[in-house]
Amino acid sequence: MRYSNKKGIASVCGFSLLMAGSSLFAQKHQSKEQYNILWLSCEDIGPVMGTYGAKGIETPNIDRLAREGIQYNHAYSTVGVCAPSRSSIITGMYPVSIGSQHMRTGNHWGFRPPEKETYLSYKKIKDKTGRNVPEYSVVPPSYVKCFPEYLRAAGYYCTNNAKCDYQFSCPITAWDEVGNDASYKNRSDDQPFFAVFNNGITHESQIWKRKQKPMLVDTAKLVIPHYYPDIPVVRQDVGRKYSNIQELDHDIGVWLKKLEDENLLDKTIIFFWSDHGGPLLRQKRAVGNSGLHVPLIVRFPDKRMAGTVVDDIVSLMDLGPTVLSLADVEPPEYMHGKAFLGEYKVEKGHQYAFGSADRFDEHTDMSRSVIDGRYVYIRNFMPQLPYVYRLFYREQMDMTRTMIQMNNRGELKGDAAYLFMDSRPVEELYDLQSDPDEVHNLANIPECREKLVELRKALSQWQLEVGDMGFIPEHDMVNLMWPGFIQPQTQKVVFQPSGKGTVVMSSATQGASIAYQTGSEIGTDHWHLYVKPFKLKRSEKIVARAVRIGYKTSEQTEYEKD
């Protein structure tokens, strides 16, 4: 069955019965072997590793994954920074379509229990109209769920260690376990798992935090992008980026050994990916190829398609639907992401990859991009802004501060000076085949007009189709999600005994999911996901809470069978 994305469906029908349908589907396929699924995610790197042709770096473990698995050459994030990108991964939706495009909306990096969910009303951040932007939790349409809920309903034990950063507070219904101690080891016997382990060693901050660590690469042999001056401080920070990737590769090797020791390597599908492009200037936060192009490798236990290289366009937004497809759960129709493997692999994938750039911390912007694998088209909606804007966080990096100082003294020349233009063209077009560093704008070249018009039209149609919310000032958008800037609250769970000795749970809040605990589990950190009515033993107590993304979680309600 396909799931409706129509609004106006009561929560007990819109979700509980939906999940029951998923559960029945899983039962129908229970004779088929269910592999575990493991995500080994990392942060802030493009495809800079041996298997992707990078020079001056050694990544034997990631290269092994590629030899034994499937390498995707054209995988892209939807945004060049973590929180909006991760919102698209957990929901399968473009950030601009659900209002999660701004970086960042609140303290959502890790899981917070509902009682510890707090928001600052003032953070010295303003939107494009100069009005205050408070902290908030994004409220997507009521039918949008965190995709692991569908897996939990299908019988998977789902864990996340440990980064959330979804632009909304992580719902207690999303994971069986979430946090620094989350592990698939606590699942029931023979229960398949979906587990996420995030490695932060390649994060932007580690360029300056680890600069005193031993350098693992020869900085003299590194290829420096044309948009940087070839000076010692640049080679130092590019070398640190490469060294951190080699540290990541070591950790991937530890994981492969761990899976072998636990007899799980031949039972687990492994995904390796980064949340967006590289950590350096004109990489992280960029809306072009340098900010969106990411590594993606999938290894099957039986090594099917081993060594295959795929040139189709894939989005990180496709990861959730693909995991569902591999678990024999049909992805919901509302998701923009498309399954690229498994039972429900789509016949026709993405023709283009679309990207967005909006507010980054204290800096407000708006750009959109479309990539067809070779050409990159960028539309700047605030062209009066400079390419390199001031941003406190990234200016902790030595090379960034140095380049800003060099620009102020008029010392940058050629392609390096291109980054520091005082304003931007309305349109940019780059040919990655002849210009991989995206420094030669072809938008005004007559010979390129046909491609310019094609991508311009594709971008405009996409913005209309997804309802690009970037045109709404953030102050107003928050007020639409939180009327009067007050967080809406999910209505409490109502219990209804049925004639079959079961108890039915529901919430009046449209699209709410329900979490519950019974017996000795009451008061612990683990919440079950309500899928369908079930029987309680005599005198057995149940505690439940209703959850909708972006809303305040309901208060607990109790029921005890007579």
Query: Which residues carry out catalysis?
Result: 82
Which residues lie across from 313 on neighbouring strands? 74, 350
Strand 293-299 relative to strand 308-315, pairing: unpaired
Quote the tokens at residue 199: 């490695």
Phi-psi region for residue 387, left (φ > 0), alpha (ψ -120 to 50) or beta? alpha
**Nearest in space to 373 (alpha carbons), one of 29, 75, 11:** 75
- For the chain, give me the number of helices (H) and strands (E)? 14, 19
What are the C-alpha distances in Å from 49 to residues 55, 203, 248, 391? 8, 16, 11, 28
Give burial (CB, 10 Å; 0-12/13-18/19+) of 11: buried
Reported for 83-88, long-range contacts at CB under 8 A and 24+ positions apart, including other chains, are 83/108, 83/165, 83/166, 83/167, 84/167, 84/356, 84/358, 85/275, 85/276, 85/316, 86/163, 86/164, 86/165, 86/166, 86/167, 86/275, 87/138, 87/166, 87/167, 87/168, 88/315, 88/316, 88/317, 88/337
Whole-angstrom distance, CA of residue 71 vs CA of residue 52: 9
Report the alpha-carbon distance of residue 471 to residue 469 in Å, rounded.
Answer: 5
Residue with tokens 């309680």: 536
Which residue, among 428, 468, 418, has the nearest Cα to 451 in the 3D structure? 428
**Is residue 319 classed as helix, strand or coil in its secondary structure?**
helix
Alpha-carbon gap, residue 76 to 47, rounded angstroms: 10
What pairing do the DSSP bridges indicate for beta strands 541-547 and 557-560?
antiparallel
Place of tokens 């079930």: 534
How far is Cα 304 from Cα 269, in angstroms, rounded to an integer?
11
Long-range contacts of 485-488 (CB under 8 A, 24+ apart): 485/121, 485/134, 485/136, 487/119, 487/136, 487/137, 487/550, 487/551, 487/552, 488/139, 488/550, 488/551, 488/552
Assigned token pair, 456: 């311009």
CA distances from 209 to 203, 245, 463 (A): 10, 15, 39
Residues with Cβ within 8 Å of 132's Cβ and at least 6 positions away in sequence, in order, are: 122, 125, 126, 475
Task: Report how far residue 440's alpha carbon sits from residue 445's, in angstroms, rounded to the nearest whole number.
Answer: 11
CA 55 to chain centre: 28
Sheet holding 557-560, edge to edge: 528-529, 513-518, 541-547, 557-560
Nearest to 334 by CA among 84, 142, 550: 142
* Tokens representing residue 519 in the block: 């017996």
Q: What residues are paired with 69 via a beta bridge?
A: none
